[in-house]
Amino acid sequence: MPMPAAALEAELRAAFPDAEIAIDDLAGDGDHYRARIISPAFAGLTRVRQHQLVYAALKGKVGGELHALALETAAPGAGGR
């Protein structure tokens, strides 16, 4: 069963409450999303570590109910805009 964009955004907002988050449904099927997340939690972290934090926040949903997720992450002022 696909994950609605609102549910994805709610999960991300719970994990990164101070973040700017934008979700795009890439294929219109509720199964392939791009998430842009600009969060102070990412300050000083590598892009790989930022993505690991996002995947951890989604608790194993990527590859399951969320088939594909393209991530764009940054700390505020770190080229995220």
What is the pLDDT tens value at each position of the chain, 81 positions in all? 778 899 999 999 999 999 999 999 998 888 889 999 999 999 999 999 999 999 999 987 877 778 889 999 999 987 544
| φ, ψ for residue 47, nearest 5 deg | -60, -40
Alpha helices in 1-81 (DSSP H): 5-15, 47-57
As a whole number of angstroms, the distance between CA 30 and CA 80 comes to 25
Classify domain 27-81 by CATH number: 3.30.300.90
pTM surpassing 0.85? yes
Two tokens, residue 75: 């700390």
- pLDDT attached to residue 28: 84
Which pLDDT score is estimated for 27?
86
Which H or E run includes 37?
strand 32-38
Can you tell me whether residue 57 is helix, strand or coil?
helix
Please report the pLDDT score of residue 67 as a whole number. 80
What are the residues facing 22 on neighbouring strands? 36
d(CA 51, CA 5): 18
pLDDT at 81: 46
